[in-house]
A and B are shown apart, each in its own frame.
Chain A
Amino acid sequence: MISVQNLVKEFPKKDGSKFYAVDDVSFTANDNEIVCLLGVNGAGKTTTMRVLSTVFQPSGGTATIHGWDIRKDPDKVRENLGFLSGDTGLYNRLRVHEFIRYFGRLYSMVDKDITQRMDEMAELLDMKDFMDKKIEFLSTGMKQKVSIVRSIIHDPPVMILDEPTSGLDILTARNIISFIRSCKERGKCVLFSTHIMREAERLADRIVMIHKGKILAEGSLDLLREETGQMDLDDIFVHYVNLFSDEVEVQAHEF
């Protein structure tokens, strides 16, 4: 389970002022649930996820991953988290099995367990042919599969995927989609981000809309439809963005 409480992440700007990439964000994602963080580019999705994965330190608020606080127990958080994003590249000079074994060892797994799990996953994702190849010679789709195995080798209860399908062709993207579904089937808590409305519609149990670092709306697709009176997720999203901009304008007038 992921629980985010009043999370703030600010960055200093060159002129000395502050930029709030994540501004007082709270939401939860339960086990056996797929939650989608939906927003346009630059909305704060990646920053939120980087804070959750302990790559960034929060400036305010906190979050727990499987009960572990990201501020107090970053080691425990990482142990219980599988993280995948467009920025999690692979070591090209390693062979596939070496690469996966490296991360398995970092997760303190014994070699026997790593081998067993690697074989399972290779079977499942149809990777047997290229387990001994160097990663630099793999195709994008193959690399994606290696990334998936890397992120789940330690069987974490929580999965975070940042724009996992961006830059992938349809067939490769399908691998990811089915992977996300299978994670839920195994009772994991899955949080993924996207700016593609259709992906959110198809996969998410609940959608958290984020814009300019703030939460716009949160709920299941049905709930959001009900609240806005719109059917299409595109329209729903635009509806909330407009609402948000009006609010900001009103606030500006008050000053």
Chain B
Amino acid sequence: MNFRKVMIVFRKELMEVLRDKRTLFTTLLLPVILYPVLIIGFNAIMTRQTGVLEERGATVAIIDSVNTQISSRLIAGLEEIPNFSFIPAGDDVQGLYDAKEIQSVVTLKDSLAGDGLIKYHIYIQYDAANERSNMTYGKIFDVLEDIETELISDQLQISGISPELMNMVDVRGRDTADSQKKMGMILGMFLPYIMIIMLFTGASVVAADLVAGEKERKTLETLLVASVGRLEIVIGKFLTIITLSMLNLIVNLFSISFSLRFMLSQSGLDMAGAGMPIKAILILLAAMLPLATLFAAILLSISTFSRNMKEARTYESPLMMVSMIMAMISFLPAIEMNSLMAMIPIVNISLLFKAVMVNEYQVSHLMITILSTVVLVIIAIWGSIKLFNNEGVLMRSDDDSSSLKGIKKNRANFFTPYNGMVYFTLALLLLYYVASRWQMQDLARGLVMTQVIVIALPVFILLKVLKMKAAPVLRITMPRLKELILIPFIAIPATVIVAILAQFINSIYPFPEHYLESLGKLFEMNLPLWGSFLVVAVAPGFCEELLFRGLFPRFFQKYGMKVNIVITALLFAAFHLDPFRFVPVFLLGALLGYLTLRSGSIIHSMIAHTINNGLALLISVFSGSQIIKLVMMDSENLHYWVVIPAAIILFLALRAFHRFTERGEEICAES
């Protein structure tokens, strides 16, 4: 790599970006204007608004069902509140309140307390979601408390006791935090969030312009034919993004710090002179630099991949969402920095930021944060260089999409990975929004309807629309008997192994209680055994297989059998919407995929799937029997040793199956 050329590229990109008014505005000008306007303006509006509310006053209805001297005194006290008017409650009091004609209804009641004393109950009806009503409540509450104190001290005086008795215990807190630290705590809450988002926005504006923008303006080829290597171009552009996002960050940091100081000095709080210490700022910038680098590398990859700037911005938005959510961790009071947290990108910066602001950070956390981010940065840069060397991606432009449309029209080429993902997403949405409702109404019926209507039926409708024959596409062919005989010897030990794996996961990372309960419901439906077996084992065995081993492998055919099996198994696991069983379901899916694709017959995996689901049911039903007790530790868990015979049987059966299906590869290639 020629570093001189990197610098030539870098200097030119920097000059060009800074000449773009839009970039200049969002990265440098916006923060300078935004925070003062936001903070100072908001402050002004807030104080004004409260003032205005109090000036407008309120109308309050009073229901006095006591009518004693004391209740009159209470009401008289209330009536002294400026701008408030009090009316006796009529029959339509609720109507007036609902129509917001009156802001509050105060009801006075009394009861007899133990020592013959009368106790007064005052109910204040108000609407906490309404600013005016809320303010009314606050005012009334304060005034009533004052009157209560007066009443008590009057009573005490009558009884010859000094009213000072009421202040017998004087409680006061003494705050040891200096104003610097207080400021730090406030800033530490929301500043990390703003900073991370700013860093991202600043970087994304520049990144989208640098490669996708060049594609759009057709200048990329000009650069590629010049005497400069792709690596030099990538690094030059990369440095540009980092420089500008860090510049953006620094401007933001100073603008916020300045505005806050101004706000605090205006607010009259005892925080004058509190600002962000220079040392904290420097530490933060040092910690933010790796994150800026990481964002730069990822965004550069996105920009390189995209056809134009609009597309780049589209791809950036989900990443932005994830970053925002991770950055929000600083708002959570309970989560603090530790070595594990320091390894999670964005989260680590967010927490470190918080710790630095109150000057309670550990250098080791700073180091882990920087190091772990640097590792990710290296991976990300490697990725963007790889992408930049991929001519198919680099020279992708708008005209490519037109050829894609042509292919889509072609029926024979419907089975593309892209269409597969679209189909999967639609099925998942249907499952999530429709099927879950069915299952809530009636579990057994809902499950069957899900299997038949959501999972199996669309497969046949699709093939009908495409005018394709279902049997060959879905591999619905009669398998050979000797293969079929092996299936129980594969399915049963596989089920056992996967169950033990789930058990093992559960022991390290226990499943939540409510989750196990909902799983248990599956086996406690009010159905005869054969009914449960149909719902839990047979229906999924047939319907899910049609989709996941029948249709989906067709979409990913071009990747070859192994990758196809992995992809469809991942989809299968994701479709269960169950993070706790993801790994076990994935492994089962891979095995089932192998059975179908290797043999060319979906019947195998249908039977294996049915056996797998049925076995869990049978165990729970027959848990009392002696044979089951032999392998079970307790009512839920298997003995770990069972894994050994299971693995041996599975291995032998799979080896035999593999040998019986030597012709399988051809079957897979055909069609």
Of the listed stretches B213-221, B430-438, B441-449, B574-582, chain A binds B213-221
Q: Nearest-CB distance from A75 to chain B (Å)? A: 6
Contact partner of B8 (CB less than 8 A), chosen from A11, A57, A78, A105, is: A105
A88/B218 contact (C-beta < 8 A), A15-B413, A79-B227 known: yes
Q: Nearest-CB distance from B408 to chain A (Å)? A: 9
Interface centre among A89, A90, A108, A150 (most CB of B within 10 A): A89
Q: Nearest-CB distance from A7 to chain B (Å)? A: 15
Q: C-beta contact mask, A36-62 vs B, less than 8 Å → 1, else 0?
A: 000000000000001001111100000
Closest to A85 in B: B221
Q: Are B218 and A87 in contact (CB under 8 A)?
A: yes
Q: C-beta contact mask, B215-238 vs A, less than 8 Å → 1, else 0?
A: 001110110111111000000000
Q: Are A78 and B227 in contact (CB under 8 A)?
A: yes
Q: Are A14 and B217 in contact (CB under 8 A)?
A: no
Contact partner of A89 (CB less than 8 A), chosen from B12, B219, B557, is: B219
Contact partner of B15 (CB less than 8 A), chosen from A12, A55, A56, A94, is: A94
B558 at interface by CB-CB < 8 Å: yes
A residues less than 8 Å from B19 (CB atoms): 93-94
Q: C-beta contact mask, A54-76 vs B, less than 8 Å → 1, else 0?
A: 11110000000000000000010
A residues less than 8 Å from B218 (CB atoms): 86-89
A16/B222 contact (C-beta < 8 A), A75-B229, A89-B217, A106-B5 known: no
User: A154–B218 Cα gap in the complex (Å)?
Assistant: 22
B residues less than 8 Å from A50 (CB atoms): 221, 395
A–B Cβ pairs within 8 angstroms, 7 of them: A15-B558, A56-B391, A75-B229, A93-B20, A94-B12, A102-B8, A105-B8
User: A105–B228 Cα gap in the complex (Å)?
Assistant: 10
Q: Are A55 and B8 in contact (CB under 8 A)?
A: no
User: A91–B228 Cα gap in the complex (Å)?
Assistant: 16
A192 at interface by CB-CB < 8 Å: no
A residues less than 8 Å from B228 (CB atoms): 78, 106
B160 at interface by CB-CB < 8 Å: no
Q: Are A54 and B416 in contact (CB under 8 A)?
A: no
B residues less than 8 Å from A11 (CB atoms): 392
Q: C-beta contact mask, B382-406 vs A, less than 8 Å → 1, else 0?
A: 0000000001100100000000100
Q: Are B221 and A57 in contact (CB under 8 A)?
A: no
A25 at interface by CB-CB < 8 Å: no
Closest 10 CB pairs of A and B: A89-B218, A16-B558, A83-B225, A88-B222, A89-B219, A93-B19, A53-B225, A78-B227, A79-B227, A87-B221
B471 at interface by CB-CB < 8 Å: no
A residues less than 8 Å from B224 (CB atoms): 53-55
User: A15–B555 Cα gap in the complex (Å)?
Assistant: 10
At the interface, is chain A mostly helix, strand, loop or mixed?
Answer: loop
Q: Are B226 and A103 in contact (CB under 8 A)?
A: yes
A92 at interface by CB-CB < 8 Å: yes
B residues less than 8 Å from A53 (CB atoms): 224-225
User: A188–B63 Cα gap in the complex (Å)?
Assistant: 104
User: A92–B217 Cα gap in the complex (Å)?
Assistant: 9
User: A54–B221 Cα gap in the complex (Å)?
Assistant: 10
Q: Are A102 and B12 in contact (CB under 8 A)?
A: yes
User: A56–B219 Cα gap in the complex (Å)?
Assistant: 16
Q: C-beta contact mask, A142-176 vs B, less than 8 Å → 1, else 0?
A: 00000000100010000000000000000000000
B residues less than 8 Å from A179 (CB atoms): none
B residues less than 8 Å from A106 (CB atoms): 5, 8-9, 226-228
Q: Are B221 and A55 in contact (CB under 8 A)?
A: yes
Q: Nearest-CB distance from A4 to chain B (Å)? A: 17
A78/B395 contact (C-beta < 8 A), A87-B221, A91-B16, A93-B19 known: no
Q: Are A107 and B227 in contact (CB under 8 A)?
A: yes
User: A49–B625 Cα gap in the complex (Å)?
Assistant: 78
B407 at interface by CB-CB < 8 Å: yes
A residues less than 8 Å from B412 (CB atoms): 15
A residues less than 8 Å from B557 (CB atoms): 16
With A88-B222, A93-B16, A106-B226 already in contact, 19 other A-B pairs whose C-beta atoms are closer than 8 Å? A14-B404, A15-B407, A50-B395, A53-B225, A55-B224, A55-B225, A55-B391, A75-B229, A78-B227, A81-B225, A83-B225, A85-B221, A86-B218, A88-B221, A93-B19, A94-B12, A98-B15, A106-B227, A107-B227
A55/B226 contact (C-beta < 8 A), A92-B217, A93-B20 known: no
Q: C-beta contact mask, B1-28 vs A, less than 8 Å → 1, else 0?
A: 0000100110010011001100000000
Q: C-beta contact mask, B328-357 vs A, less than 8 Å → 1, else 0?
A: 000000000000000000000000000000
User: A52–B224 Cα gap in the complex (Å)?
Assistant: 12
Q: C-beta contact mask, A98-121 vs B, less than 8 Å → 1, else 0?
A: 100011011110000000000000
A residues less than 8 Å from B5 (CB atoms): 106
Q: Give the total of A residues in contact with B, Cβ under 8 Å.
A: 36
Q: C-beta contact mask, B489-532 vs A, less than 8 Å → 1, else 0?
A: 00000000000000000000000000000000000000000000
A75/B227 contact (C-beta < 8 A), A11-B392, A91-B16, A93-B19 known: yes
Closest to A86 in B: B218
User: A92–B15 Cα gap in the complex (Å)?
Assistant: 12
User: A222–B229 Cα gap in the complex (Å)?
Assistant: 42
Q: Nearest-CB distance from B139 to chain A (Å)? A: 60
A107/B226 contact (C-beta < 8 A), A14-B404, A56-B395 known: yes
Q: Are B227 and A90 in contact (CB under 8 A)?
A: no
B residues less than 8 Å from A107 (CB atoms): 226-227
Q: Nearest-CB distance from B565 to chain A (Å)? A: 17
B residues less than 8 Å from A91 (CB atoms): 12, 16, 217, 219
User: A89–B15 Cα gap in the complex (Å)?
Assistant: 18
A residues less than 8 Å from B416 (CB atoms): 14-15
B residues less than 8 Å from A16 (CB atoms): 557-558
Q: Nearest-CB distance from A87 to chain B (Å)? A: 5
Closest to A92 in B: B217
User: A108–B4 Cα gap in the complex (Å)?
Assistant: 9
Q: Are A14 and B222 in contact (CB under 8 A)?
A: no
User: A154–B226 Cα gap in the complex (Å)?
Assistant: 10
Q: Nearest-CB distance from B592 to chain A (Å)? A: 24
User: A95–B508 Cα gap in the complex (Å)?
Assistant: 64
User: A81–B226 Cα gap in the complex (Å)?
Assistant: 8
B residues less than 8 Å from A15 (CB atoms): 407, 412-413, 416, 558
B residues less than 8 Å from A103 (CB atoms): 226
User: A42–B203 Cα gap in the complex (Å)?
Assistant: 38
Q: C-beta contact mask, B223-267 vs A, less than 8 Å → 1, else 0?
A: 011111100000000000000000000000000000000000000
User: A53–B227 Cα gap in the complex (Å)?
Assistant: 11
A150/B558 contact (C-beta < 8 A), A14-B407, A56-B391 known: no
Q: Nearest-CB distance from A52 to chain B (Å)? A: 10
A residues less than 8 Å from B391 (CB atoms): 55-57
CB neighbors of A among B555-586 (8 A): 557-558
Q: Are B413 and A14 in contact (CB under 8 A)?
A: yes
User: A94–B218 Cα gap in the complex (Å)?
Assistant: 15
A residues less than 8 Å from B9 (CB atoms): 106
Closest to B228 in A: A106
B residues less than 8 Å from A105 (CB atoms): 8
A residues less than 8 Å from B222 (CB atoms): 88-90, 150
